[in-house]
Structure 1
Amino acid sequence: MKKIILMSGLATIVMAAFNENAKSASPTDKRGIDNLSNATANTGVSVVVQDSTALKVVNAFFDKFKSGASPAELAKSFDEKAEMFIPGDIKNVPWIGKRIGRAAITDHFKLLRENIKPEKLEFTDILSKGNRVVILGYLESRMKKNNKVMKSEFSIDIVVENGLITRYHLLEDSFEVSGKAKL
């Protein structure tokens, strides 16, 4: 049996995969948690609901991301000295690599927006312990310059301190991404 640990409003995002009615639930809507619990009865997934400050910060960040917030607005979720790292082919994929600080992270989001169109983002597991949140999932993005679709499972290791993200390490199929980024 698969176990998903959900906290706060991230439950709303995952619920959509299990229950059509959950799509309209807000992150603070307690009915969403009930809907998720009801939805799991037919899916074989067990759910543990927890709450944490780190998860609230991560949830707020992904809410901004999902709503199309500007790169600068997204970067405000990060500490001034935060580290973002997405390993891979930095010659062909300009938005990946290591970035330190809010200005560099803003640049990441600008490059991401200029180069890809997100098409699918699914969280399959969300784990939280103390100030760390780990998200496992699947994504599909379309390269704007060549219309190729990148598909990859991913994991994101996020650390939150003093209400801001200080570490954001995303692992994805970098071979797939690099191959699709080439013309």
Structure 2
Amino acid sequence: MKDILVLYYSRHGATRELALAIAQGIDSVPGVQARVRTVPPVSTVCEATQPDIPESGPPYAELRDLEECAGLALGSPTRFGNMAASLKYFLDGTTPQWLSGALAGKPACVFTSTGSLHGGQESTLLSMMLPLLHHGMLLVGIPYTESALATTQSGGTPYGASHFARAGAAANGISADERTLAIALGARLARTASMLNERP
């Protein structure tokens, strides 16, 4: 059984919902399973610390999770059109894995959540791809053969799964289309990892 790492940061829960839907898609493919991990928040206060184990949800990621995975789904809320500092901080510590080529040739996908419809979904997804390309990963997106991509009235892009949270409104869970696309992306990532692992 090969593990696909679903690594995300979530502040209000929407990115976590997408992560769980992607994990559902991964788990639907025989021979692979999702390993869900998160990262702790970054504080501007030097003395601030987080417990070694989060109070709820998945464990914090370790660098060995990257080394052991057969593929990676990377998710973050949008911060001014870019990934959250907490996720970037974790990725900035992956130089040993870059030097060793631990992620080279493995498939990856990205996902995000934004407070407004034009709040930087696509630029965030694209910015999250950059470190993955430096690591030599193979990026997969959502093709238009997924019919929900052409009909969604909320999130969803060919670059990766996304959620439109409507900032200032009551908390909105991911829509049916957003969930469908996230599950499809997870399954596509898992199938790609399986095919790559079958090659000699």
Q: TM-score, normalised by structure 2?
A: 0.28
> Larger relative CO (CA 8 A, sep 6+): 1 or 2?
2
Q: TM-score, normalised by structure 1?
A: 0.30
